[in-house]
Chains A and B, each alone.
Chain A
Amino acid sequence: EVQLVESGGGLIQPGGSLRLSCAASGFTVSSNHMNWVRQAPGKGLEWVSILYGDGSTSYADSVKGRFTISRDNSKNTLCLQMNSLRAEDTAVYYCVRAVDYIFHNWGQGTLVTVSS
């Protein structure tokens, strides 16, 4: 059974850094296209970043230069390093596995709150 479990969220001050992790089971992260999608409280979905199986990446303009997506193959984990955080980054962050470009498996999400 495929499972995705996010961790690392919490309260952080503006300008701070946070690292999210997504522990995967039931499949191999490095063989799949993995995404981060976020949802601000009471708002819609916003795609954040993708890490392709070949290691290439893409980012939303809103996070480009501040966020870095990566994976730890030894732990079968997807990561998101978030720097220079802003209030508008406050959201639930979902880890998503894509299969044939379909966002097939979603984690339950981890809440990041950026506030002083």
Chain B
Amino acid sequence: QAVLTQPSSLSASPGASASLTCTLRSGINVGTYRIYWYQQKPGSPPQFVLRYKSDSDKQRGSGVPSRFSGSKDASANAGILLISGLQSEDEADYYCMIWHSNAWVFGGGTKLTVL
């Protein structure tokens, strides 16, 4: 079982909200991790969106609008990237990442389509 699992795709309408999940493998407690989120558009390297551990330990990337926010769902053992007021420019691949067992680990990524 992968360390981080993300749904492969998600579609949402302009103006709506999208909740991207990053589920940690059973036995790895989401509460103890900072979860990093990266956005990648076709033909470009990824860009840092935000990281979230708790409401007192969070950081958004430079220039990232406040429409992007992070949270956790402890019951699902998952990190969440919430994008509100979706815009066409938000269409991209999104990857979560954690530091686990002396290595950085990426989730498989979610392709967000805004249509």
Q: Is the CB of B36 within 8 A of A50?
A: no
Q: Which residues of the partner chain A approach B95 to less than 8 Å between Cβ atoms?
A: 44-45
A9 at the interface (CB under 8 A from B): no
Q: Which residues of the partner chain B approach A101 to less than 8 Å between Cβ atoms?
A: 34, 36, 51, 99
B106 at the interface (CB under 8 A from A): yes
Q: Is the CB of A44 within 8 A of B106?
A: yes
- Per DSSP, chain B at the interface is strand
Q: How many residues of B are in contact with the other chain, CB < 8 A?
A: 23
Q: Is the CB of A107 within 8 A of B45?
A: yes
Q: Convert A20-41 into 0s and 1s, putting 1 for each residue whose CB lies closer than 8 angstroms to a CB of B.
A: 0000000000000001000000
A107 to B46, CA, bound (A): 10
Q: Which residues of the partner chain B approach A104 to less than 8 Å between Cβ atoms?
A: 48
A103 to B49, CA, bound (A): 10
Shortest Cβ distance from residue B20 to the other chain A in the assembled complex, whole angstroms = 14
Binding site for B on A (CB under 8 A): 35, 44-47, 50, 58-61, 94, 101-104, 106-109
A-B residue pairs in contact (CB < 8 Å), sample of 9: A44-B95, A44-B109, A45-B97, A47-B106, A103-B48, A104-B48, A106-B46, A106-B47, A108-B45
